[in-house]
Chain A
Amino acid sequence: QVQLQESGPGLVEPSQTLSLTCTVSGGSISSYNYYWSWIRQHPGKGLEWIAYIYYSGATNYNPSLKSRVAISVDTSKSQFSLKLSSVTAADTAVYYCARLFGDRSCKFDPWGQGTLVTVSS
């Protein structure tokens, strides 16, 4: 079964760039109609979709974050990545990667375990 695992620094300084990678195992990142997503959850708060990418490189971003976000995919490594620039304390959150079934869908399954990223000097 497909498993996802986030990796990256747990602490990022303000104004710097947050970089996270999600490694996909147990299945192909190039599978038809599966999209690869990033979602975050601020401490004690709800879920916020950030972006998703198809193995071809097609992307979709949350408009509220689009100016600061870049998502990319490396099919040879079965990984996809997130970069969030000019971070502030408001970007402190648990970041999840998840597989999305189909475009214009909200069926995220499975999810990674999540990684807490704290923005602080």
Chain B
Amino acid sequence: QSVLTQPPSASGTPGQRVTISCSGSSSNIGSYTVNWYQQLPGTAPKLLIYSNDHRPSGVPDRFSGSQSGTSASLAISGLQSEDEADYYCSAWDDSLDGPVFGGGTKLTVL
């Protein structure tokens, strides 16, 4: 059972916009910024979004993040086949006194 809750799966067709939610509590998302990671099949996770809504250099602007209260969302617009991956949210957690991750969402491009 992960501290941050994500839907196990999401899907969309090419060109569509999809969103992935991440729900937490006042001890994590409610107090700290959220980061998102993309894990392509068979590879290590890669930082996709940091500090709620910032993209590292090289990440397409099709990817965007937002945070409100104790929840956060990752949005992917203009969905492409290469976006098929697992996506994880993360935030600092005061109860753990360390970083926590969501359980991950497997995105399928139909």
Contact = CB atoms under 8 A, between A and B. Distances in A.
User: Does B associate with A?
Assistant: yes
A60 B98 contact: yes
A48 B2 CA distance: 9
Contacts of A31: none
Contacts of A63: 96-98
A34 interface: no
Interface in A86-121: 96, 100-101, 104-114
Nearest to B34: A106
A107 B44 contact: no
Contacts of A113: 43-44
A46 B45 contact: no
B104 A108 contact: no
Nearest to A63: B96
Interface string A35-54: 00000000000111100000
Contacts of A107: 35, 47, 50-51
A63 B99 CA distance: 11
Contact of A49 (B34, B51, B100): B100
A65 B102 CA distance: 18
B104 A47 contact: yes
A15 interface: no
A106 to B, nearest CB: 4
B35 A106 contact: yes
Contacts of A48: 101
Contacts of A109: 46-47, 50, 56
B56 A106 contact: no
A106 B96 contact: no
B37 interface: yes
11 contacts: A46-B101, A46-B103, A49-B98, A61-B98, A96-B44, A101-B50, A106-B92, A107-B51, A112-B44, A113-B43, A114-B44
Given A49-B99, A62-B96, A106-B92, 9 more contacts: A46-B2, A46-B101, A49-B98, A49-B100, A106-B35, A107-B35, A107-B50, A108-B35, A110-B47
